[in-house]
Amino acid sequence: DAGVIQSPRHEVTEMGQEVTLRCKPISGHDYLFWYRQTMMRGLELLIYFNNNVPIDDSGMPEDRFSAKMPNASFSTLKIQPSEPRDSAVYFCASRRQGSTDTQYFGPGTRLTVL
């Protein structure tokens, strides 16, 4: 099992540019989560999907952020336009159906917006 896969691992961009982060969950997992981690705010849940359907996006900071899951093996988190305060590590995580099943994190994408 390859685990949760994220790309790119590092992204450096300039303010105003569009950024797209990608995630491939573990095969067979029904839930996919996007988190943002910063020193100031810790680990924040941005949005999660169940069977490719967005269930709760209340953590998405503003309209500049959007997420999609076109199929069971792929999800994207897009920021447009990006701002310096979006600089953070973005983690994708997935788990099976049960709410007490283990949630596995991807390696993260370190985003730097200049």
Partner 1 sequence: GENVEQHPSTLSVQEGDSAVIKCTYSDSASNYFPWYKQELGKRPQLIIDIRSNVGEKKDQRIAVTLNKTAKHFSLHITETQPEDSAVYFCAATFDNDMRFGAGTRLTVKP
Residue numbers at the binding site for partner 1 (CB under 8 A): 31, 33, 42-43, 45, 48, 50, 55-56, 91, 99-100, 102-108
Pick 71 or 102: Cβ nearer partner 1: 102
Residues 6, 108: contact at Cβ < 8 Å?
A: yes
What is the nearest approach in angstroms of partner 1 to the Cβ of residue 91? 6
What is the nearest approach in angstroms of partner 1 to the Cβ of residue 81? 28
User: CA 48 → CA 12, 14, 29, 36, distances in Å?
Assistant: 25, 27, 13, 12
What is the nearest approach in angstroms of partner 1 to the Cβ of residue 33? 8
Name the nearest CA neighbour of 59 among 71, 51, 67: 67
